[in-house]
Structure formats: structure tokens, C-alpha cells
Amino acid sequence: MKTLTAGKTPVNMLKIQNKVTTLVAFSSILLLGACATNYVPETDKSSSYDFSKIETYSVIGDEQLKNPMFSDIDRERFDAAIDISMQRYNIEEVSAEEADVLVSYFVVTKDKIKVSASYSGGYANSCYRCGYGYGGGVTHFNTRNYVEGTLVVDIIDSESKLSVYRSMLTKPLKSYENTQEREQAINKIVSDMMQKLPLG
């Protein structure tokens, strides 16, 4: 952690960095879940699309981007989580050529800096005749680097190739050390993101 003192720090050192990285390890997605703070996915859907006609689906994942840093193990975990959510609505998994909708996903990350201020208080002397005034306080700025990840899930109509439902979830990234926690985190993330899909 860096400590910066007001009046001596160039403005650009306090600037928020917004570098977007698309080629990230898929394990970053796992870091989005199971935090103490609850995060609500942001969802949007087509008002003209008839969701009741959806009977089949196929997961295409990041097929279009083909992120070389995604492992097959992580793809399998995420695809399985999508299967659980879709089949909860009694939607059948079929091939991409036969499916009513396709399910894709991708992730982006941003390097960010959190800046907080603390004040080292001055002093005051109430003795008017003593001639004492206020002592000089100093404001310190504390900075902490962290990475924020955004996971995006799209439901795409297979005929028009247009997205009809999108869910996005943004959280600071957090790591997990064992497989069970990683899988539980992915299942919860997907479940939350698919919850508002109007299929039930």
C-alpha cells in the first residue's frame, strides 16, 4: 500500500486506471463470487421477443472470442452451471444447429485503484492571550490496487443471431484455493445471472 500526502502528490498518481483486458484466465470469473458483500447482476431483455417459444438451447461459450487463456476444465465447469440453470426451466440441451437459443459468455477485467483519505488532526489552544492558534493537520491519501471483473452472459436467438437477454455481473476479483469452492462460486454466479430470464 502506498501513502500519498496532499500537496506533494502529482494529480496523475491519483488517477483511476481503466485498462481493459480481454485475454484473462477463466479462473478470474470464479473470483467474482461468494463475497461478503452482495452484488446484484444487471440484466436486460428484449421486449418484443417471445421467450415462451424457447424449448431448446446450446452453449457456445466464448466460441467467438476463443480466449486462449481459458482452460477446458473451466469451460466445462461454466457450461455445466449454465446447464443447471437452463434445465431448471425444463429447456432441453441440443446441438447448436437445432437450438432455439445459444448461450454465450465472456469476461473483461479492469485494473483499478481505490483512494481513501485520512487526516492527521491539528490542535487548537483556547487560551486567547497565549497567542496559540490551530496546529497544521496533514491529509494522507492511501491507495490500494485491485482488479475488477465483469462477466457477461448472452442469450442469442439462433434464427436472427441477435441477443435477446443479457446479464452482467461486476465484482472485485477474489481467489479460491480448492475446487469445491470454485465450483460453488460459479454455480451461484450463473444462477443469479439467469434468475430473471423469463422462462418460468
Domain ranges of the chain: 2-123+137-194
Q: Which residues pair with 145 in a beta bridge?
A: 113
Q: What is the CATH code for 2-123+137-194? A: 3.30.160
The reply to whether the predicted model has a pTM over 0.75 is no
pLDDT tens digits for range 143-195 = 767 567 788 999 999 999 999 999 999 887 667 778 888 888 888 889 999 99
Q: What is the pLDDT of residues 49-85, one digit of tens each?
A: 999 999 999 999 887 776 666 678 878 888 999 999 9
* Phi-psi category of residue 148: left, alpha or beta, with phi > 0 → left and psi -120 to 50 → alpha: beta
Q: Which residues have a Cβ under 8 Å from the Cβ of 136 and sit 6 or more positions away?
A: 122
